[in-house]
A and B are shown apart, each in its own frame.
Chain A
Amino acid sequence: MSYQEKKTIVSILTGLLILTTYCFYAYGKYQSGVVAMDDLMFWARTMLLFIAISIVATIVIQIVFNILLSIMIAIQEKASGCESDDKEIEKTIETEMVTDEMDRLIELKSMRIGFFFAGIGFVIALIAVVLDYSAAVMIQIIFISFHIGSLLEAITQLYFYRKGIKHG
């Protein structure tokens, strides 16, 4: 499995973890009756908090993942028996982690799918308002659909890495 595939799996797991935590926290509070569905201030505050958590968690987890992967590659190189000096190991790590044209193409194509899903979520949110649901329901749908869109983007990336990708 390549570095990009591992990175994508880590990002899927991070996204799932954050979405699950949000659902447990926010809907747990709603179910226990601490907040009402109409309390827009609470939902907006919670979503902003989770967006911030999501950004920080993604950065931290990716840094930790890169460090761990570099250590693993170095150990593998040493264990392989060949006379690998530090420069050789550094070169191997760089070759594994380089982002090239295929990565960029996969990123662009999967991003399109992610945004398409988020767009559908936005339309559903507007329809919900037309059907007389509250504004809080609308922002819930938008927030969740953006998160699922982002997950879908990562899953699509993984699919393209596995199955290959064509231009056009």
Chain B
Amino acid sequence: MAKKLQIKNNIRRFRFFANEMTQKQLAEKVGASRQTIVAIEAGKYSPSLELAFRIADAFGVEIGEVFSYEMSDKDK
């Protein structure tokens, strides 16, 4: 049985270090809607690999620095 995987992100922290970049500005940079950025930040939506790369690129860091995962003990 596969373990449950939870994707976490540091978008809020990177936005803060990017001169308090707004969600709207990030959305414009990556070509997504503000609603999607809000959902990703809140952990309500896991982005596609392409969007995840775009977000990392917007902050000028590697994808692994923005997104990480955690395996929970609960089986699927």
Which residues of B are at the interface with A, using a C-beta cutoff of 8 A? 24, 27-28, 31-36, 38-39, 42-48, 51
CB pair A101 B34 closer than 8 Å: no
Q: Provide the main secondary structure of the chain A interface.
A: helix
**Inter-chain contact count A-B, CB under 8 Å?**
56
A161 at the interface (CB under 8 A from B): yes
Task: Pick the residue among B32, B42, B47, B48 that contacts A98 (CB under 8 A).
Answer: B32
The answer for the CA separation of A101 and B47 in the assembled complex, in Å, is 8
CB pair A100 B36 closer than 8 Å: yes
Q: In the complex, which residue of chain A has the Cβ closest to the Cβ of B30?
A: A100
Which residues of A are at the interface with B, using a C-beta cutoff of 8 A? 2-5, 91-92, 95-103, 161, 163-167
User: In the assembled complex, which residues on chain A have CB atoms less than 8 Å from the CB atom of B33?
Assistant: 2-4, 95-100, 102-103
CB pair B34 A2 closer than 8 Å: yes
User: In the assembled complex, which residues on chain A have CB atoms less than 8 Å from the CB atom of B28?
Assistant: 91, 95
